[in-house]
Amino acid sequence: MNYECIIYEKKDQVGLIKLNRPKVLNAMNRQLWIEMQDALERVKQDKDVKALIITGEGRAFSTGADLKDSKDRSIEDYRLYLESLQEASRKIIRFEKPTIAAINGYALGSGYELALACDIRIAAKEALIGSPEAKVTSSVTGGAFRLVQDLVGPGKARELLFTAEYISGEEAKKIGLVNKAVPLDELMDETFDMAKKIVANSSFSLKLIKKGFLMAQGESSLEALMDYEIEACLACVSTKEREASLDDFEQRKK
């Protein structure tokens, strides 16, 4: 697929997807979500890529749904758009490789929800993050009802969604919505540094650990989760790379 709404690159075992509609602050249309799903499949199938970064081109991560694009939509067309959005969100949430959102500017609405779907979020201190849905008579998507609560707790989640106020990257760090907040000119270096630490590890372990996190978030009972933990550990220690990993670890301790 030739991309019009995103840019895909890879470097040193790290994939990079840039939302690429800077003239409209990376507002999202159905085509962007279709291209995103295609790029995710490329990353999934590429054994050389062990982690994925998602960011925005220009001065925004994404300002959410393209409202101009949605004005004349029929309800059925809107349903198709939302289904594309939700499918892409599911793929990111359940993506077997670690994902990092580098929030370089405005992250609003479904742009904010895209960042929530990632495993790790690193924001520019100056970024503005929030859900304006209540201001425009809409509601959140992308699993945000659960994802926000998991990060900041039910009370703070309600405050953020009910008030529809934006917060800075710095404030987002204080409440646990993002992992780190750094100056904008350091954002991509910081994000790639994090990605390098991740890709230095076993891709098989990362895959199983991520699956375990999803199970722990409510997709399975505690008993099923703990049974899975046994099988995941046994699967890891049975691999050929296990002995080499232990030798390498012992050498680093000396």
Q: What is the pLDDT of residue 247?
A: 78
Identify the bridge partners of residue 62 per DSSP, sorted by sequence position.
107
C-beta of residue 166 within 8 angstroms of C-beta of residue 129? yes
pLDDT at 254 over 60: no
Whether residue 35 lies in the annotated active site: no
What are the C-alpha distances in Å from 71 to residues 28, 35, 190?
13, 22, 38
Q: Cα(245)–Cα(216) distance, rounded to whole angstroms?
A: 26
Chain mean pLDDT for the chain: 90
Q: Cα(29)–Cα(182) distance, rounded to whole angstroms?
A: 29
pLDDT at 137 over 90: no
Whether residue 250 lies in the annotated active site: no
Q: What is the pLDDT of residue 20?
A: 98
Q: Cα(147)–Cα(177) distance, rounded to whole angstroms?
A: 10
Q: What is the pLDDT of residue 246?
A: 67
pLDDT at 249 over 90: no
> And the tokens for 113?
């929800």
Residue 253: CB partners within 8 Å, gap ≥ 6? none
Q: Cα(16)–Cα(30) distance, rounded to whole angstroms?
A: 20
* pLDDT tens, residue by residue, 37-61: 999 999 999 999 999 999 999 999 9
C-beta of residue 104 within 8 angstroms of C-beta of residue 62? no
Residue 86: CB partners within 8 Å, gap ≥ 6? 141, 142
pLDDT at 128 over 90: yes
Q: Cα(195)–Cα(79) distance, rounded to whole angstroms?
A: 35
Q: Quick one: which H or E segment has residue 98?
A: none
pLDDT at 18 over 70: yes
Count CB-CB contacts under 10 A for residue 23.
9
Q: What is the pLDDT of residue 243?
A: 79
C-beta of residue 140 within 8 angstroms of C-beta of residue 131? yes
Tell me the DSSP string of 84-150.
HHHHHHHHHHT-SS-EEEEE-SEEETHHHHHHHHSSEEEEETT-EEE--GGGGT----TTHHHHHHH
pTM over 0.85: yes
pLDDT at 245 over 80: no
The arithmetic mean of pLDDT across residues 78-100, rounded, is: 88
pLDDT at 70 over 80: no
The arithmetic mean of pLDDT across residues 141-152, rounded, is: 91
Q: CA angle 103-106-110, nearest 5°?
A: 85
Q: Which one of 9, 87, 96, 113 is the catalytic residue? A: 113
Query: Starting at the edge strand that comes first in sequence, how are the strands of the sheet with 60-62 ordered?
Result: 60-62, 106-108, 128-130, 167-168
* Alpha carbon distance, N-terminus to C-terminus of the chain: 49
pLDDT at 166 over 60: yes
Band of pLDDT at residue 82, cut at 50, 70 and 90: confident
* pLDDT tens, residue by residue, 201-240: 999 999 999 999 988 887 777 687 678 777 877 787 788 8
Q: Which one of 133, 159, 190, 231 is the catalytic residue? A: 133
